[in-house]
A and B are shown apart, each in its own frame.
Chain A
Amino acid sequence: MLYSNCWNWETGTRLVANTGNWKAKFEWVEEPNVSPDGEKIAAIVKIGKGEFNVCVNGKIWGNHFDRIWHTRFGPAGRLTALVSQKGKWTVAVDGNAWKNSFDYVWNTIFSPNGENIAATIRQDSQYGVVVNDESWEKMFYDINNLTISPDGKRTAAVVQTVAFRKGDIFKFQEGCYTAAPDGKAWDRNFVNVWGLAFSPNSKKLAAEVRTSLYDYTVAVDGALWQDTFSCVWAPVFSPDNKAVAAPVRVADKWTLAENGKQTWDRKFFQLWGQIYSPDGSKLAAIVAPKFGKWTIAVDGHPWITTFSDLITDVVFSPDGNSVAAAGRDKGRWTIVVDDQSWKDTYDMAWQPVFSPDSRNVAAKVGKKEYYTIVINGKPWKHYCEALWNPVFSPNGNKVLIRAIENGKYYRRVLPITKI
């Protein structure tokens, strides 16, 4: 929503690029990416032996590279790629490679406003993070779970601070891993650390930690919750930064804990993927009330609608009054909103998107080889070869559809009444 105010919301269809022609121009064309505003489509292309480039709206970047992978548009529309030249790797942004290069770079992530770009790096068998072409001062034996703060100014990752030989099972149990916000490791180690989460104000960092082979809990800025559990899943912060919520396993069942204390009085066969409503007054999570039955629980109360296979991609409406998710039942996908499933089923469904006024829900869905958009259960009668998630206009009356049809990429803005 940050940038969509500035996008072109004039109703109509515009051909952006004849992507079908690219295959004739280049030795090969990889699967394309589209900018959030739909104005650009980009794909990695091979232009010769050992020479790769990125084609954006039909034009290639000024620089070739020996290898390119992982092209991604950031929220502000900048296009990144991981590029290699003479065996060294770095990040290229809109075609310009960063000055520093490394033995390897992977896992590009963006701050929510898109201004800061981070990635994990390996250099001389040590591991760290590079942010906007500047590396963390300290490097570690291993790194994973990279994350960036909501304000984009901080990064954190799980790091290995103690070396141990393969097979040294007792050294491992002493704890060799911790979290490192901004490259500075917490002052205590754990057997394992996963699931890092920054607070909304970017000041605090929470993680799920394993303190022995058998004890799990949550750490906030390195301080542990008082109780340990037989297992926990990834924590999240409340919007007011005061609470941390995480699923915890107690007596072979799962429930939700806030700041270390059980906050839901109900237990489930499984519980994960919890999210707060934007105002923090509600908590929703994916739950299995019974073995093999999946649904959403809001504030501990499970919906009646259940899915046999899975539920994923849960999202709150901006006003916090509705919850939507994608679910799969007996092999067929659909969207469920406030305990009501859409009547149609699909081969695949993507995360539903609420309009800013919370009145409408849209989702990308797939059937066989084609994709379309569905709004409030009603399909758009176009079947596209490729499609990206729909975006509502700031006033919620229109929807941006980014799609490839008949080998051509179109940017469409449609009134939602036209679907």
Chain B
Amino acid sequence: MAQSVKKPEKKFVDIGLDEGAARLTTDMIQQVISRVLKGETSAYLKAYVDTCVSCGLCSEACHYYLSHDKDPYYAPVVKVKQTIWEILKKKGKVSPEFIKKASEIAQTECDLCRRCAMYCPFGIDVADIILIVRWICYMLGVTPQYIQDIANSYSVTMNQMWIKEDEWINSLQQQEDEAQNEIATLRIPIEKEGADIMYSVISPRPEFRAQFIYKTAVIMDTAGVNWTMPATPGPDNSDMTMYTGDNEIMGRVKKTHFETAMRLKVKKILMSECDSIYDVGNKWLGWKWYPIEIVNSIEFYYELLRDGKISIAKKFEEPVTLHDPCNVDKGSALYKMARYLINATCKEFVEMHPNREHSYCCCAGAGVINCGPHWKMKQMHGSKIKARQLAATHVETVIAPCHSCYGGLEDVIRHYKLGMNVRFLSDILYECIEKPRVVIDV
């Protein structure tokens, strides 16, 4: 593979990186790196580094590499070489400018999609390595401004968008009011102890996609599900701090989330259409797996339809395609269930290629979209391969069962002028299911 690497085309300005790096000295950097790389991290990192033979097979897996016409700068192995290998080689004696660049690479040039791990002959997980780089940069205070602000939001509100407690509850009540215009008896049961399911969302829902709570409520009501939503902090199933390296807040958010479910004595947590299924926070806390079962919306809707709890009244007329979110499919293999739902609800389904676990990342995940407008064009350039994939389907509707993907694909479609629209699965289901108790309360 090519040894020389190009610099990216444009210098980006971000006070989180610039001012953060300006506060550093090489001594501070060395001390922090030494602390982070002790113990368990050191062992598996060494195994990865010693195993990699720089074959470059990971390159063809990376959407950044492919989107930049196979520029070696964006090859996963080069990202690793430019960051952790250099840190290890120099035993942490790196400059503030190096840390700034490492943070930029780790936060804005890798979505932790793990596609490269599938192509590596040794299964080296570059995402794990990049997460260590993010952790080091966070510990040094060099994290992009917008995602650091999101981490700050979690620390105060336990959600990612500074939604205050009253705003959250009020938002649920407003959604209930809206839904009652359609089904007069519909409730969004708040704080119902002993419900079977606690529905957890990611906070963009009450903030700017609130209508999807109401649509999910209609599905729940139609299926007769015994469910609830909490009135206390802890409804947010996303935990973007796992992507910044702030492990302590990551753990606190997850602790709050699961303790909320324990307090409400629910049997399961239903997570909204979200790709944040990494079981990182629970492991940091000592829970081997989720202490309370978590069901992804794809699986939940699949079971409702399979078991006859909801039925299809009409099919979605327009041809649709499906974007397979990385963690949902590489991590949980829910792609069969997603296709079952789409085939049941849509007249025509057009596959993107490649698909399922080989799908290209939307280029928004793992916090990349959360790094803010400074980095938007970089994200767009990194998603060129996705745009090509979308365009090749020649359909106008793409289903994206993940909030980050949903937002990322909206950006891609706008940037590349693809003339498509994005839908959640719940959006399609809401439109297509039989709603036996529809009452317009005039």
Query: Taking beta carbons and an 8 Å cutoff, which residues of A are in contact with B?
Result: 27-28, 30-31, 49, 67, 69-70, 104, 106-107, 120, 122, 127, 142-144, 160, 166-170, 172, 177, 191-192, 194, 210, 213-214, 216, 230-231, 249, 252, 269-270, 272, 288, 291-292, 294, 308-310, 312, 328, 331, 347-348, 350, 366
A residues in contact with B210, CB < 8 Å: none
Pairwise interchain contact A106-B169, C-beta atoms closer than 8 A: yes
Pairwise interchain contact A310-B291, C-beta atoms closer than 8 A: yes
A270 and B156 in contact (CB under 8 A), knowing A67-B173, A70-B231, A106-B231? Answer: no
Pairwise interchain contact B141-A213, C-beta atoms closer than 8 A: yes
Q: Report A366 CB to chain B, min CB distance, Å.
A: 7
A residues in contact with B293, CB < 8 Å: 331
A residues in contact with B190, CB < 8 Å: 69-70
Q: List 5 A-B contacts (CB under 8 A).
A: A31-B193, A104-B169, A216-B248, A291-B283, A294-B286
Residue of A nearest to B283 (CB): A291
Residue of A nearest to B157 (CB): A144
B window 237-284: CB within 8 A of A: 246, 248, 251-252, 255, 258-259, 262, 265, 267, 283
Q: Report B239 CB to chain A, min CB distance, Å.
A: 15
* A270 partner, pick from B15, B157, B265, B285, beta carbons under 8 A: B285
B residues in contact with A49, CB < 8 Å: 441
A31 and B192 in contact (CB under 8 A), knowing A213-B246, A292-B288? Answer: yes
Pairwise interchain contact A312-B262, C-beta atoms closer than 8 A: yes
B residues in contact with A310, CB < 8 Å: 258, 262, 287, 291-292
* B191 partner, pick from A70, A122, A142, beta carbons under 8 A: A70
Give me 10 other A-B pairs in contact (C-beta within 8 A), A69-B173, A169-B145 excluded. A69-B190, A104-B169, A107-B165, A120-B165, A120-B166, A142-B164, A249-B248, A270-B286, A308-B288, A309-B292
A residues in contact with B287, CB < 8 Å: 292, 309-310
- Determine, out of B147-155, B328-336, B422-430, the stretch whose residues face the partner at the interface: B147-155
B residues in contact with A142, CB < 8 Å: 156, 164
A residues in contact with B343, CB < 8 Å: none
Q: Which of B187, B192, B286 is the most central at the interface, judged by chain A CB atoms within 10 Å of its CB?
A: B286
* B146 partner, pick from A30, A167, A312, A331, beta carbons under 8 A: A167
A292 and B286 in contact (CB under 8 A), knowing A122-B166, A214-B139? Answer: yes
Q: Which 10 pairs show the lowest CB-CB distances between chains A and B? A: A292-B288, A270-B286, A288-B286, A310-B291, A104-B166, A231-B248, A269-B286, A169-B148, A172-B152, A167-B149
B residues in contact with A231, CB < 8 Å: 248, 251-252
Pairwise interchain contact A348-B265, C-beta atoms closer than 8 A: yes
A residues in contact with B141, CB < 8 Å: 213
A291 and B194 in contact (CB under 8 A), knowing A167-B149, A192-B155, A213-B141? Answer: no
Instruction: Give Cα A375 to B287, complex, Å.
Output: 29
Chain A CB within 8 A of B185 CB: yes
Pairwise interchain contact B16-A169, C-beta atoms closer than 8 A: yes
Chain A CB within 8 A of B51 CB: no
Chain A CB within 8 A of B407 CB: no
A residues in contact with B231, CB < 8 Å: 70, 106-107
Q: Report B430 CB to chain A, min CB distance, Å.
A: 22
Chain A CB within 8 A of B162 CB: yes
Chain A CB within 8 A of B308 CB: no
Q: Report B151 CB to chain A, min CB distance, Å.
A: 9
Pairwise interchain contact B39-A366, C-beta atoms closer than 8 A: no
A residues in contact with B16, CB < 8 Å: 169
**Interface size classification for chain B:** 35 or more
Q: Report A267 CB to chain B, min CB distance, Å.
A: 12
Residue of A nearest to B144 (CB): A169
Chain A CB within 8 A of B170 CB: yes
B window 175-207: CB within 8 A of A: 185, 187, 189-194
Chain A CB within 8 A of B56 CB: no
Q: Report B318 CB to chain A, min CB distance, Å.
A: 37
A28 and B152 in contact (CB under 8 A), knowing A106-B165, A144-B165, A252-B39? Answer: no
Instruction: Give Cα A127 to B156, complex, Å.
Output: 15
Pairwise interchain contact B145-A191, C-beta atoms closer than 8 A: no
B residues in contact with A348, CB < 8 Å: 194, 265, 267
Q: Report B116 CB to chain A, min CB distance, Å.
A: 28
Instruction: Give Cα A49 to B19, complex, Å.
Output: 56
Q: Report B102 CB to chain A, min CB distance, Å.
A: 18
* B162 partner, pick from A166, A177, A292, beta carbons under 8 A: A166
Pairwise interchain contact A366-B145, C-beta atoms closer than 8 A: no
Query: Taking beta carbons and an 8 Å cutoff, which residues of B are in contact with A?
Result: 15-16, 19, 39, 139, 141, 145-146, 148-149, 152, 155-157, 162, 164-166, 169-170, 173, 185, 187, 189-194, 231-233, 246, 248, 251-252, 255, 258-259, 262, 265, 267, 283, 285-289, 291-293, 372, 441
A residues in contact with B162, CB < 8 Å: 166
Instruction: Give Cα A142 to B157, complex, Å.
Output: 10
Instruction: Give Cα A29 to B169, complex, Å.
Output: 20
Instruction: Give Cα A144 to B155, complex, Å.
Output: 12
Pairwise interchain contact A28-B170, C-beta atoms closer than 8 A: no
Pairwise interchain contact A309-B291, C-beta atoms closer than 8 A: yes
A residues in contact with B164, CB < 8 Å: 127, 142, 144
Residue of B nearest to A229 (CB): B248
Pairwise interchain contact B288-A106, C-beta atoms closer than 8 A: no
Residue of A nearest to B228 (CB): A31
B residues in contact with A272, CB < 8 Å: 255
Instruction: Give Cα A43 to B194, complex, Å.
Output: 16
Pairwise interchain contact B233-A144, C-beta atoms closer than 8 A: yes
Instruction: Give Cα A214 to B36, complex, Å.
Output: 13
Residue of B nearest to A326 (CB): B262
A291 and B165 in contact (CB under 8 A), knowing A69-B190, A169-B149, A347-B267? Answer: no
Q: Report B142 CB to chain A, min CB distance, Å.
A: 11
B residues in contact with A177, CB < 8 Å: 156
Q: Report B135 CB to chain A, min CB distance, Å.
A: 12
A residues in contact with B148, CB < 8 Å: 169
A residues in contact with B192, CB < 8 Å: 31
Q: Which of A104, A168, A288, A328 is the most central at the interface, judged by chain B CB atoms within 10 Å of its CB?
A: A104
Pairwise interchain contact A170-B19, C-beta atoms closer than 8 A: yes
Q: Report B418 CB to chain A, min CB distance, Å.
A: 30
Q: Which of B19, B169, B233, B293 is the most central at the interface, judged by chain A CB atoms within 10 Å of its CB?
A: B169
Residue of B nearest to A288 (CB): B286
Q: Report B163 CB to chain A, min CB distance, Å.
A: 11
Instruction: Give Cα A177 to B153, complex, Å.
Output: 13
Instruction: Give Cα A156 to B150, complex, Å.
Output: 27
A residues in contact with B286, CB < 8 Å: 269-270, 288, 291-292, 294
Q: Report B246 CB to chain A, min CB distance, Å.
A: 7
* B166 partner, pick from A106, A168, A309, beta carbons under 8 A: A106
